[in-house]
Structure formats: structure tokens, C-alpha cells
């Protein structure tokens, strides 16, 4: 039986792809973190819902795999894309224990892309994404990656910039980037992209160091080419124009 692992995009159901919508329609059972089930509540009304708390990712994946193995078409939903800090890899790690289940990954719009579209066009040249969550990656490894990306001159998107327990991570990340980039580097913050309460703002790297961010925020740090053009953050692709 099929298990669809679906990225629902940033929030509002208008960002669902047609494929994701179709997979949700086919699903008899829908599993996911309650916040995400809430975002698509109108689409999954009447279906059996399996919700599990945050941090219980393995339990959530097993519930979904067991539901599919039991004969129900099942959907496991993640925000953004299920393969970007989502559940897709964990499902594949556990799937060999459920050989009767066919796993289908349905891509979604990841936060970096929805945030970029709100800010302007900051990801038009090479960029990298780093999560500041050290729940699954040691902090010293995160610092090494930040330093490498800063040295490589890539535009940098930060996911999980802070949480109640990780207040200082954004500041520490900025300090690493500030060793390689000037204080006036153009940066952007987007909170609740594509959701109720969406907000965004531009700030310099120096200001970002002391900015408040939370777990619903995506941060974009520009590189040497990134500029504000009018009210938008833009990293030129490199076209020459007169
Ligand atoms: N699978 C998700 C990412 C999960 S990690 C995706 O592809 O988008 C969770 C982090 O993603 C958050 O801490 C935040 O940095 C970012 N994020 C997810 N949804 C967001 C949204 N609607 N607006 C801004 N940032 C978001």
C-alpha cells in the first residue's frame, strides 16, 4: 500500500502543488504534527488523522508506515518540502522494516524559496542552507559549515535560527559570518511565510546579530553582490546591462 510523504509548502493551502493535493485526496489516513494538519484542515476533513507531538518523529513515521502496511493509503505531511529537514529520509531509513509499503515523496515549496520570493530575489546565484538546530547536528559542526559557506561567498539561508532553548544561535552564527563579510551586508528575515501573520524585514548583518528570531523565521544573509534594489533584496545573476 502507498505512503505519500508530502511537503505542503509554507502554510496556506494555495501553496500546495497539484500533486500534493491529489495525494491528500487519495489518502484515507493523514499523519503529521498537529500544526501542519491544522494548516490543511479543510482538505483532510473526514479522514482519519494521526497526530504526534514535536520531537516524536520516529513514532510519527512508524505510525504512518504501519497505517500503510495495514492497507490504508496514508499521507505523512511535513511543512515546506519533506526532504528538506523533513521526514522523508527517516521514512526511508525505517521503510525496509515495512517491505509491503511503497513510499512516494511529493515535493513542496521549501521555506528558503517562499522566504526568498517575499524578500525579492536573493537566491538567484549560488546559495547554501544551514539549520542552526543542534538537536541532531553537533554545534561545532554547524559552526564549521557556517565558516565554510561564509568563506565560499555563498548567499546563506538559515533555518531554525532560534528557539526558546537556543536564543544565542543566531548571534553566534552572525559572528562567524562577520569574520568574512562586512557589517552592512544585506540580510532579510521572513516570519510565517505564506501563513497567517506573515511579516518580513531587511536589515544589515550587524543588525541581524542582535535581531530577534524564532522557530517560524527564515533568515537570508546576502553575499558581496547582494543589494537592495528599491524595496527588494536582490542577488544579481550576473547579466550585464547598460
Ligand atoms: N521542511 C521544512 C523545514 C523544516 S525546519 C521546509 O522545507 O521548509 C523548520 C524551519 O523552517 C523553521 O525553523 C524556519 O526556519 C523554517 N520555516 C518553515 N516554515 C516556515 C515559514 N512558513 N516561514 C518562515 N520560515 C519557515
Q: From the CA of 148, how far away is ligand 1's center (Å)?
A: 23
116 lies in the same domain as 220: yes
239 within some domain: no
128 lies in the same domain as 57: no
Q: Tell me, using a 6 A CB cutoff, whether residue 10 lines ligand 1.
A: yes
Best residue for ligand 1 mutational test, from 111, 132, 157, 211 (most atoms within 8 Å of Cβ): 111
219 lies in the same domain as 115: yes
Best residue for ligand 1 mutational test, from 12, 119, 218 (most atoms within 8 Å of Cβ): 218
64 lies in the same domain as 119: no
DSSP 186: E
User: Which of 84, 106, 128 is where one domain is finished?
Assistant: 106
Instruction: Count the neighbouring beta carbons within 10 Å of the beta carbon of residue 176.
Output: 19
Q: What is the distance between the alpha carbons of residues 67 and 104, in angstroms, rounded to a whole number?
A: 15
Give pLDDT tens digits for 169-212. Answer: 999 999 999 999 999 999 999 999 999 999 999 999 999 999 99
- Cα dihedral 188, 192, 196, 198, rounded to 10, equals 0
Where residue 214 sits, what CATH number does that domain have? 3.30.950.10
Residue 216 lies in domain: 111-234
Instruction: Count the neighbouring beta carbons within 10 Å of the beta carbon of residue 134.
Output: 16
172 within some domain: yes
85 lies in the same domain as 157: no
102 lies in the same domain as 115: no
Mean pLDDT of 56-79: 95
240 within some domain: no
121 lies in the same domain as 218: yes
Q: Tell me, using a 6 A CB cutoff, whether residue 95 lines ligand 1.
A: no
- Please give the pLDDT value at position 193: 97
Q: Tell me, using a 6 A CB cutoff, whether residue 9 lines ligand 1.
A: no
- Give the Cα-Cα-Cα angle 81, 85, 86 (nearest 5 degrees): 55
User: Which of 59, 80, 106 is where one domain is finished?
Assistant: 106
Per the structure, how many domains does the chain have?
2
Its pTM stands at 0.96
Amino acid at each position: 500500500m502507498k505512503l505519500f510523504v508530502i511537503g505542503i509548502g509554507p502554510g496556506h493551502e494555495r501553496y500546495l502543488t497539484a500533486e500534493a493535493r491529489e495525494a491528500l485526496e487519495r489518502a484515507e489516513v493523514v499523519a503529521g504534527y498537529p500544526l501542519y494538519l491544522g494548516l490543511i484542515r479543510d482538505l483532510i476533513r473526514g479522514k482519519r488523522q494521526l497526530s504526534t507531538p514535536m520531537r516524536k518523529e520516529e513514532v510519527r513515521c512508524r505510525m504512518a508506515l504501519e497505517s500503510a502496511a495495514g492497507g490504508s493509503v496514508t499521507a505523512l505531511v511535513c511543512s515546506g518540502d519533506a526532504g528538506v529537514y523533513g521526514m522523508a529520509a527517516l521514512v526511508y531509513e525505517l521503510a525496509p522494516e515495512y517491505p509491503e509499503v511503497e513510499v512516494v515523496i511529493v515535493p513542496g515549496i521549501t521555506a528558503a524559496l517562499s522566504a526568498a520570493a517575499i524578500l525579492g530575489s536573493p537566491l538567484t546565484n549560488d546559495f547554501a542552507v544551514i539549520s542552526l538546530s543542534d538537536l541532531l547536528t553537533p554545534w561545532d559542526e554547524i559552526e564549521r559549515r557556517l565558516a565554510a559557506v561564509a568563506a565560499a561567498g555563498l548567499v546563506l539561508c538559515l533555518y531554525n535560527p532560534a528557539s526558546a532553548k537556543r536564543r544565542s544561535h543566531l548571534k553566534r552564527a552572525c559572528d562567524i559570518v562577520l569574520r568574512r563579510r562586512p557589517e552592512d551586508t544585506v540580510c532579510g528575515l521572513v516570519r510565517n511565510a505564506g501563513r497567517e501573520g506573515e511579516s518580513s524585514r531587511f536589515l544589515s548583518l550587524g543588525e541581524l546579530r542582535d535581531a530577534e528570531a524564532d522557530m517560524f523565521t527564515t533568515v537570508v544573509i546576502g553575499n558581496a553582490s547582494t543589494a537592495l534594489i528599491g524595496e527588494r533584496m536582490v542577488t544579481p545573476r550576473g547579466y550585464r546591462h547598460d
